[in-house]
Amino acid sequence: MKLADNKATLSFSNGSPSVDLPVYQGSVGPDVIDIRKLYAQTGMFTYDPGFLSTASCQSAITYIDGDKGELLYRGYPIEQLATNCDFMETCHLLLYGNLPDVAAKTAFVKRVSNHTMVNEQMQFFLRGFRRDAHPMAIMTGLVGALSAFYHDSTDINNPEHREISAIRLIAKMPTLVAMAYKYSVGQPYMYPKNELSYAGNFLHMMFATPCADYVVNPVIERALDRIFVLHADHEQNASTSTVRLCGSSGTNPFAAIAAGVACLWGPAHGGANEACLNMLEDIQKMGGISKVGHFMEQVKDKNSGVKLMGFGHRVYKNYDPRAKLMQETCKEVLAELGLENDPLFKLAMALEKIALEDEYFVSRKLYPNVDFYSGIVQRAIGIPVGLFTAVFALARTVGWIAQLNEMIGDPEYKIGRPRQLFTGSVSRDVLPISKR
């Protein structure tokens, strides 16, 4: 970390001595005030629920400029990565910091392909679930269960273990997501086919059956690959911070990633793509585009509890760059499948248009986020709504593991342990039950 020329001075109105705090500069983005010694110097904590002004770590992986609507993985703009690179190259970039050349990519793809199968025992875990279990419930269980199978890669303090568990997780997530799907529809699991691309293999495991050939559609394959690239990392969001906090105790990588999967499930985070599609379907049932005005009134009414899902973001106060790319992909996929007149896509466009012009959204800087169009793409591909967040988890796994490994390799890393402002009862005596 680079020390800035200036420092911050904290003064108190009650005459307590002021405190100088160091300021650090990143390569880009806001400076940070180092408050690590604040408690020792003043006996006070800082208070920042929701981390609105707190950098929880230093990181060199992903940078977001929320005002500009800019997203960089290791310095590369997401638009360039989504256009010029595939998901395997993106994984290499996030994990190792550089885009691979042809030889490095071939070697990386081979390594990942070698680990796509899961232990046969895993299918018995699935049998313990109800057929109608939510795929994220299944994924939380299955990813955590990986630590019961791969004992040779569970020591988070061993760089080789971290490396091999990263490859295993990236390789096995598509297999697990597809198994969760096949279980829910009662079809046989399909083994991975390693000659296919990462996205093509996922499509094969999802939609092939043992009784018919399945040919991967290159337009759909490319669209899915783009979904993976766009979701691969997003700096210190809730699930990534969960993975870091969980991993900071020294737990094994599979357990830490399972914690990330659980966090991602929530509708304010990864569950938003599912919630967004459900919202569009509900409006469609109510009468479609003619009901958009009525729906928007509900969204703007604070007492209704209705939100425009797929809109708004903690960091982006401009158009989410991923949403633009996703809208492009959405058009391509719908055209390829002859669904140009898809009513949900038209509805989404109508909602977006109204929201971008409405004072409520404009004044709050609420723009479409990645989830606004990703659900429509996934639905067109044939992925059931309940599986959307599991597909997000599949793609985000590389980001989680890259962030986890970065943290463990950081000499300044400590177990995460936030403090609190206590507002409960002060010390009091327990009365015998007859006197309470």
Q: Which chain residues interact with ligand CMC by CB under 6 A?
A: 234, 237, 268-270, 272, 299, 307-314, 364, 366, 369-371
Output the smallest distance, CB 294 to ligand CMC, in A. 15
From the candidates 34, 371, 410, 429, give the one annotated as an active-site residue.
Answer: 371
**Closer residue to ligand CMC (CB): 91 or 323:** 323
Q: Which of 250, 293 has the CB closer to ligand CMC?
A: 293
CB of 106 to ligand CMC, least distance (A): 32
* CB nearer ligand CMC, residue 110 or residue 365: 365
Query: SS in 3 state form for the chain?
Result: CEEEEEEEEECCCCCCCCEEEEEEECCCCCCEECCCCHHHHHCCCCCCHHHCCCCCCCCCCEEEECCCCEEEECCEEHHHHHHHCCHHHHHHHHHHCCCCCHHHHHHHHHHHHCCCCCCCCHHHHHHCCCCCCCHHHHHHHHHHHHHHCCHHHCCCCCHHHHHHHHHHHHHHHHHHHHHHHHHHHCCCCCCCCCCCCHHHHHHHHHHCECCECCCCCHHHHHHHHHHHHHHCCCCCCHHHHHHHHHHCCCCCHHHHHHHHHHHHCCCCCCCHHHHHHHHHHHHHHHCHHHHHHHHHHHHHCHHHCCCCCCECCCCCCCCCHHHHHHHHHHHHHHHHCCCCCCHHHHHHHHHHHHHHHCHHHHHCCCCECCHHHHHHHHHHHCCCHHHHHHHHHHHHHHHHHHHHHHHHHCCCCCCCCCCCCCCCCCCCCCCCHHHC
Q: Which residues lie below 8 Å from residue 286, measured CB to CB, with a gap of 6+? A: 294, 295
CB of 265 to ligand CMC, least distance (A): 11
- The residue from 313, 358, 410, 429 that is catalytic is 313
CA 125 – CA 152 distance, rounded (Å): 21
Does the active-site annotation cover 342? no
In the complex, the smallest distance separating the C-beta of residue 309 from ligand CMC, rounded to whole angstroms, is 5
- Decide if 371 is catalytic: yes
For residue 162, what are its two tokens? Answer: 């971290």
| Cβ(122)–Cβ(141) below 8 Å | no
Is 371 or 406 the residue whose CB approaches ligand CMC more closely?
371
Measured from each CB, the residue nearest to ligand CMC is: 312
Q: How far is the CB of 267 from ligand CMC (least distance, A)?
A: 6
Q: Which residues pair with 64 in a beta bridge?
A: 71
CB nearer to ligand CMC: pick between 223 and 279: 279
Least gap, CB of 244 to ligand CMC (angstroms) = 16
CB 373 to ligand CMC: min, Å: 12
Least distance in angstroms from the C-beta of 306 to ligand CMC: 8
Return the number of the residue (312 or 399) whose C-beta is nearest ligand CMC.
Answer: 312
Amino acid at 156: I
Parallel, antiparallel, or unpaired for β 19-25 and 32-33? antiparallel
- CB–CB of 275/306 below 8 Å? no
Based on CB atoms, which residue is closest to ligand CMC, 355 or 381?
A: 355
Residue 209 or 298 with smaller CB distance to ligand CMC = 298
Q: Are strands 32-33 and 62-65 parallel, antiparallel or unpaired?
A: unpaired
Catalytic residue positions, numbered: 313, 371
